[in-house]
Amino acid sequence: MKKTFEGKVALVTGAGSGIGQAAAFAYAVNGAKVIVSDIKDNDTVAKIVADGGEAYFVKTDVSKAEECEQLVKKTIEKYGKIDIAFNNAGILGETNNLAEMSNDGFEKVIAVNLNGVFYCMKYEISAMLKQGSGVIVNTASILGTVGFSAFSGYVAAKHGVVGLTQTAALEYSSKGIRINCVAPGFINTPLLSTLNVKSKEELSLKHPIGRLGEAKEVASLVIWLSSEEASYATGGYYPIDGGYLTS
């Protein structure tokens, strides 16, 4: 039986852990050759290869435009094309009320979470236009539409990701490139590793479903949006949040 992404090449940023790693595994299981990108070495490629898949690591700091450009170039050099891009790299950044937020702290989270998505999309779209097709999925957040105290940089960045996604979809959907974003609620990943048990319990209660999400649950949505089953989906904002936004 032919696998969903057989013959396809998928690029995943922030693939060293959490949602990015879960998505990289899912692309590989479904037959894609996967470019694993992260700011530091990790075991994602080794795990994919051990499971019979194909993957290649490219170290990338997405806050730097030149590294995002090289990421796309190395993908093309390695596999000849880029069919799917999941722009997922992100950080929580400094947590402080706005007046106490350091300038450096605010700028860092914007650089990674917003500028990084812009830079990656810029070079991914350029490559996809030459092919005449492609799919891009960006990681936004439930905080891409609502606020959250002490996270002004993160909230601002994720609102920006939603806007970038919608605008790019308007510009390129007629050229064979579908672009959407997923909006996870609070997911049980290393991104929340700084929180204590009580804080995690309090976050869980903000979700009507009664728990934090799991990375593989978000990856399942990403995989659907990347597939031909979602061929009419573009410019969308897809919450996967255990009911957070409806509460």
Catalytically active residues, by annotation: 154
Return d(Cα 90, Cα 157) in angstroms, integer: 10
Backbone phi, psi, residue 233, to 5°: -100, 115
**Contact call for residues 12 and 23 (beta carbons, < 8 A):** yes
Rg over CA atoms, the chain:
17
Amino acid identity for residue 246 in this structure: T
CA 12 from chain center: how many Å? 7
Cβ atoms of 136 and 168 closer than 8 Å: yes
Residue 55 vs residues 11, 58, 67, 79, 188: alpha-carbon distances, Å: 10, 10, 19, 10, 25
Dump the DSSP string for 49-114: HHTT-EEEEEE--TTSHHHHHHHHHHHHHHHS---EEEE--------B-GGG--HHHHHHHHIIII
Q: 180: helix, coil or strand?
A: strand
Instruction: Please say whether the beta carbons of 59 and 35 come within 8 A.
Output: no
